[in-house]
Structure 1
Amino acid sequence: MSYESKIYKVGDATVTRVSELALTTFTPEMLFQGWHPDVLQDHATWLSPGSMDDARQRALMSVHTWVIQTGRHTILIDTGVGNDKNRPFTPMFDHLQLPYLARLKAAGVEPEAVDFVLLTHLHVDHVGWNTRLVDGNWVPTFPNAKYLFSRDEYQYFADQRNHSERNKTSFIVQQDSVLPIVRAGLAQMIDFDGKEVIDGLTFHPTVGHSFGHASISLNSAGERALFSGDVLHHPIQIHRPEWNSRFDAFPEQARASRRWALDYAADNNAMFFSSHFPETSVGQVTRKDGGFEWRYV
């Protein structure tokens, strides 16, 4: 996995990926409901070398943050897994020690310079660097930022009735990565009403993967981008949008949200910034033969 930061232009804004780690352990059978190996033959021409391992036994993915520079503000979309976090039920994320902040600095961003953190949802691999461990306490990593996220999702995880087997990691995550932000007065919980929140950025409800999931659009100087969050986990789903991942909590809503995101990207010629695709994690979605195609950029 490359950790170099490629800079993309969307109108007057720039977008840079800051990588945290690669995910290499999931077989397609583990990841997707409805998986059939025929898809590898059906789409041999688009299945790029970086999308699966050489033996085509593992679906390769990434965890990363998107940094948006608008000329007015420095904005992060999602914050990855984080270091030192106790994750007993997700060993691949347990007590990591990764140079994420050094990579962020290499991309030209000091934590104190971040103005806004926009969170697509409150799962383990999207909010971890909200906080860092200092003298035994979880403190905001971006002390001058406002953290924007779903009011509904926060309330969902605050309700003990939702403390299920599926949500056991997410309940731990709230304690060390979300509640410290609320207590520090940096949280700005919002409802998704289709209005711009800052610098051409809008939260769109794409529930299904989680209770209050959002995809985030950027509109700058007539150009558009979509930061999809977890409506898709791998480019295979571009060609099989009916396939949910094992992580989608509300299956029918997840399928509808996936279709919305693909329609939005194709209809608006929006650059598509994924949360977990491998390689550059960025591409274009276009229509073909009643479905969709994917091209990395």
Structure 2
Amino acid sequence: MTNESAQSIVLGDVEIIRIVEWQGPFVPARGLVPDAAAEVWKDNEEWLAPDHWAPDGDSAVVALQSWVLRSGGRTVLVDTGVGDGRERPHSPLFHRRRDGFLGRLERAGIRPEDVDVVVNTHLHADHVGWNTRDADGEWVPTFPHARYLVPAADDFHFGPRNDYGGGRHEEDRLVYEDSVAPVHRAGLVDLWEGTHRIDDHLVLESAPGHTPGSAVLRLASGTDRAVFVGDLLHSPVQILDPAHASCFCLDPRRAAASRRRVLERAADTRELVVPAHFGGAGATEVRRAGTGFALAGWAAYAGE
């Protein structure tokens, strides 16, 4: 798997296109998943390295990526990456990036005006960045014909009034002001809670914990199933033991409960699990294994 690439797979009547912005070592492995002991990484090195763990530096390897679904005659973009030219002083990898994401979309046959629905699984910086683009010094919606589906609880939490509570950091303010508020002002945001059906094949469901409104997107078409889990999973070691939260989870205990619930259903119904940040193939099937889960095979893309 190389950086800056696109891959595709078809499930039932839905085409899935993977757009990778970047992949590489991100942070120390136990910094990303604090409760996963060193032995967990070492004992699973054979399949964790090199796509999910870099043993030499003991770093977790992640991808920055988005997923495009062609479903029911519409184009649905799931999460919009980091964005160009953002002030992200708290995140050096995200700060003032220039990565050509829109060019990668267009090379995959997707123009901004063709996108009908944008799904933000949650409102962290690396999931909303290309919601907007810079137009002569003003942030405007990148996808002018799309409805932006935003979890209401996240909007309440990260918005200026912090209605959900829990406090808001400076980096949260920056993200909301340049990547969420302009879409609100354009009248393109649909807030939702609980569940939200996009079409006959796609349904959003709340899975709180990582953030107050963190969501998953379920796909069901024919006999095929998938679940786009956003940041419920940052690393495959969390599949082995879903109690392990990432360092970015605002409510680790609640995130663990959501993660176990989603993985149980995925194992029982053979859903393809599609996390936001897995490197390598980026998506996997899972099966039950004792009190946790195990990987049952990676996604196979067209031409592979």
Matched residue type, 1:219: A
Q: How far apart are the structure 1 equivalents of 2:172 and 2:122? A: 11
The answer on 1:95 being equivalent to 2:96 is yes
- For 1:191-270, list aligned pairs within 5 A: 191-193=193-195, 195-270=196-271
* Per-residue deviation, residues 34-68 of structure 1 (Å, max 9, x unmatched): 23111134324432431112516111001111000
Q: Distance in 1 between matches of 2:227 and 2:286?
A: 11
- Using the alignment, how far apart are the partners of 1:179 and 1:119 within structure 2? 14
Question: In 2, distance between residues paired with 1:132 and 1:256?
Answer: 36
Structure 1 unmatched ranges of 5 or more:
none
1:29 corresponds to which letter in structure 2? R
Does the C-alpha gap of structure 1 residues 279 and 115 become closer, same or farther in structure 2, counting only changes over 3 Å? same
Match of 2:173 in 1: 171
Q: Which shows bigger deviation, 40-49 or 207-216?
A: 40-49
Tell me which residue corresponds to 1:120. 121
Partners of 1:35 and 1:14 in 2: CA distance:
35
Which residue is 1:154 aligned to?
Answer: 155
Percent of residue pairs bearing the same amino acid type: 36
Higher strand share: 2
Q: By how many angstroms is 1:272 displaced?
A: 1.3
Kindly state the Cα deviation for residue 10 of structure 1 after the two structures are TM-superposed: 1.2
Residue 276 (str. 1) matches residue 273 (str. 2):
no
TM-score (norm 2): 0.92
Say which of 190, 193, 209 aligns to 2:192: 190
1:248 to partner: Cα distance: 0.4
Distance of 2:185 and 2:166 partners within structure 1: 22
Unaligned runs of 5+ in 2: 300-304
Q: CA distance change for structure 1 residues 157 and 4 in 2, over 3 Å: closer, same or farther?
A: closer
Does residue 134 of the first structure (1) align with residue 138 of the second (2)? no
Answer yes or no: is the 8 Å Cα contact 1:32–1:244 preserved in 2: yes
- 1:119 deviation in Å? 1.1
1:296 and 2:298 correspond: yes
Structure 2 residue matching 1:82: 3-state secondary structure: coil
Give distance in 2, aligned partners of 1:293 and 1:187: 37
Supply the AA of the counterpart residue of 1:178. Answer: V
**SS of 1:39 mapped into structure 2:** helix
Following superposition of structure 1 onto structure 2, how do residues 69-88 of structure 1 map, counting pairs within 5 Å?
69-88=70-89
Give the corresponding residue for 2:52: 51
Partner SS for 1:92: coil
Alpha-carbon distance in structure 1 between the residues aligned to 2:24 and 2:191: 30
**How far 1:23 moved relative to its partner?**
4.6
| Count of paired positions | 295
In 2, distance between residues paired with 1:258 and 1:285? 13
Q: Are the aligned partners of 1:157 and 1:163 in contact in 2 as well (CA < 8 Å)? A: no
Could you tell me how far 1:257 is from its partner in structure 2? Answer: 0.8
